[in-house]
């Protein structure tokens, strides 16, 4: 190995030790930390983040990155990805001091604690001051971000988007989301006018936590999640966290009157976990494991949750097991009725529980609000009113309180620019699903419960280069085509025309 690369890897290893500790504490904070300790644990996390910041912004570290960046094209794929990633981090932090970074971390940790209390009490006012500070540090990120030679940011919000989906801009999203909105509006109107009636009463029959645990274990095993490399915990907000290459943790939550929430949370978070567990070990060796973008990640989680998990073939396979686990639910429910129920379309308030057709409208609302904030057209104090208005306009329903409205998501306690990646992920997975169907018999594999063969195709074609290419390069490498929302919209139109007999 080149000596310069070896030296840089040793420096990154030091930083990564702090980052692993931070991820462990973040997982603790969001799962078992008592409410009264959240602020103090947040302060500890901020201190660990500060140490990591100081390592990667040390004089020798920066010197090595800049020197290697000049000759990056002479290195192989893994080393070049490492160099380019470290250079992007350098650009984002070049003009930031460790005091500034630490202050940002403290604000984010306090904002998370304030958001938790505000949501529990359904009062936006308990979070608004922290939200103003979070918006302020995101404006600072925009101002302090050094522009690279090959970067083309046309507005400040582009910089925030780039943190989560490299190379995707407002200009791109306006085009993609414009087509999506136009076609979704037509499809949703057709569904509303359909005479098809779908039975959903059985979905709200009470189930026990023990039954939910059995279902969670069944889905986790079906997905092929290695129990020696992954764990499952119950908390109030489902998420997954990569601690290390052999330590991926996912969480779910149990709703006693809606057992499907747990099932699809496992499928979603399990998808994230598979992406980490089945990526090349070399990605960890070269510390580029977190070079995946959130759009890539969401493409995988939503692929397992929706494209596979809501397919007829998947329901055919799980139906007999669900009848055993939830006898009180399925005593008079057919497989056909379960399939239709998991694909039932109805506007709802909560993004994470939304159906496939209306889900993108939840993302569109958040995207438009974020843009308005950073274009200076929307004040924090006006957020709840604008949120409710858009829900009324796009989905025909209005939240009755802030917890089911503007406070429902944790994201704004730290970041802006994240939400669009959920829809971008849908665009990606519809594109590579088209190729997958041409190469393997997806339906037969899923109907027989063989998700491991699906995982293998994903590992070979989707996961393999995710940490080494930009998103636009990655999707073109998989499909030979440029990013488009057309495949996704066609998928929705064809599927729901069958479900609703349009």
Strand-pairing partners, residue 244, are 247
The runs of H, that is alpha helices, within 256-293 are: 259-277, 281-285
The three-point CA angle 99-81-108 to 5° equals 30
Could you tell me the two tokens for 491? 């998928």
Nearest to 259 by CA among 308, 206, 201, 310: 206
**Strand duo 240-244 + 230-234: pairing:** unpaired
CA distance 220 to 460: 21
| The residue to which tokens 């087509």 are assigned | 179
Contact present, 219 and 266 (Cβ < 8 Å): yes
The pLDDT tens digits for 185-205 are: 999 999 999 999 999 999 999
Give me the sign of the Cα torsion angle 184, 174, 372, 96. positive
Give me the sign of the Cα torsion angle 177, 180, 182, 188. negative
Nearest to 56 by CA among 24, 27, 22, 85: 85
CA distance 54 to 102: 10
Q: Note if 482 is an active site residue.
A: no
pTM of the complete model = 0.94
Could you tell me the two tokens for 171? 């200009």
Output the pLDDT for position 93.
Answer: 94
> Catalytic residue among 269, 298, 305, 337, which?
269
Which domains occur in the chain, in start order? 3-144 (no CATH), 173-499 (1.10.1370.30)
**Tens of pLDDT along the chain (502 residues)?**
799 999 999 999 999 999 999 999 999 998 999 989 988 998 999 999 999 999 999 999 999 999 999 999 999 999 999 999 999 999 999 999 989 999 999 999 999 999 999 999 999 999 999 999 999 999 999 999 998 877 889 999 999 999 999 999 999 999 999 999 999 999 999 999 999 999 999 999 999 999 999 999 999 999 999 999 999 999 877 899 999 999 999 999 999 999 999 999 999 999 999 999 999 999 999 999 999 999 999 999 999 999 999 999 999 999 999 999 999 999 999 999 999 999 999 999 999 889 999 999 999 999 999 999 999 999 999 999 999 999 999 999 999 999 999 999 999 999 999 999 999 999 999 999 999 999 999 999 999 999 999 999 999 999 999 999 999 999 999 999 999 999 999 999 999 999 999 9
Could you tell me the two tokens for 142? 């925009």
CA distance 432 to 164: 20
> Which DSSP string corresponds to 111-180?
HHHHHHHHHHHT-THHHHHHHHHHHHHHHHHHHHPPPPTT----SHHHHHHHHHSTT--HHHHHHHHHHH
Contact present, 254 and 301 (Cβ < 8 Å): no
The pLDDT tens digits for 29-38 are: 989 999 899 8
Specify the DSSP class assigned to residue 307.
I
């Amino acid at each position: 190995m080149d000596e310069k690369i070896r030296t840089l890897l040793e420096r990154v290893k030091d930083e990564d030790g702090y980052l692993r500790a931070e991820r462990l504490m973040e997982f603790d904070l969001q799962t078992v930390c008592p409410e009264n300790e959240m602020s103090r644990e947040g302060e500890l996390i901020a201190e660990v983040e500060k140490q990591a910041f100081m390592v990667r912004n040390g004089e020798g570290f920066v010197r090595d990155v800049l020197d290697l960046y000049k000759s990056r094209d002479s290195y192989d794929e893994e080393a070049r990805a490492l160099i380019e990633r470290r250079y992007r981090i350098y650009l984002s932090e070049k003009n930031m001091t460790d005091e500034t970074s630490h202050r940002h971390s403290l604000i984010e940790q306090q904002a998370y604690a304030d958001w938790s209390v505000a949501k529990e009490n359904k009062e936006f006012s308990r979070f608004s001051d922290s939200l103003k500070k979070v918006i302020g540090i995101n404006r600072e990120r925009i101002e302090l971000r050094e522009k690279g030679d090959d970067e083309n940011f046309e507005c400040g919000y582009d910089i925030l988007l780039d943190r989560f989906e490299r190379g995707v801009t407002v200009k791109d999203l306006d085009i993609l989301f414009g087509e999506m909105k136009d076609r979704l509006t037509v499809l949703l109107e057709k569904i509303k006018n359909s005479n098809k009636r779908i039975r959903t009463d059985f979905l709200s029959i009470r189930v026990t936590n023990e039954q939910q645990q059995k279902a969670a274990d069944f889905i986790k095993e079906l997905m092929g999640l290695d129990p020696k490399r992954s764990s499952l915990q119950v908390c109030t907000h489902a998420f997954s966290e990569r601690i290390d290459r052999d330590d991926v943790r996912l969480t779910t939550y149990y709703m006693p009157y809606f057992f499907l929430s747990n099932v699809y949370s496992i499928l979603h978070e399990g998808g994230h976990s598979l992406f980490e567990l089945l990526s090349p070990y070399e990605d960890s060796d070269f510390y580029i494991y977190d070079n995946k973008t959130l759009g890539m990640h969401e493409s995988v989680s939503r692929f397992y949750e929706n494209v596979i998990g809501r397919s007829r073939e998947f329901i055919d396979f799980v139906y007999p097991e669900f009848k055993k686990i939830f006898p009180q639910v399925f005593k008079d429910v057919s497989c056909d009725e379960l399939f239709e129920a998991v694909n039932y379309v109805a506007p709802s308030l909560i993004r994470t529980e939304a159906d496939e057709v209306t889900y993108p409208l939840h993302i569109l609302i958040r995207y438009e609000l974020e843009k308005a904030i950073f274009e200076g057209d929307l004040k924090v104090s006006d957020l709840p009113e604008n949120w409710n208005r858009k829900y009324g306009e796009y989905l025909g329903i209005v939240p009755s309180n802030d917890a089911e409205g503007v406070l429902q998501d944790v994201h704004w306690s730290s970041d802006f620019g994240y939400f669009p990646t959920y829809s971008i992920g849908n665009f990606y997975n519809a594109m590579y699903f088209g190729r997958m169907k041409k190469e393997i018999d997806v339906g037969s594999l899923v109907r027989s419960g063989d998700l491991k063969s699906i995982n293998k195709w994903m590992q070979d074609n989707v996961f393999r280069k995710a940490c080494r290419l930009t998103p636009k390069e990655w999707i073109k490498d998989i499909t030979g085509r440029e990013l488009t929302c057309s495949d996704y919209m066609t998928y929705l139109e064809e599927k729901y025309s069958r479900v609703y007999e349009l």
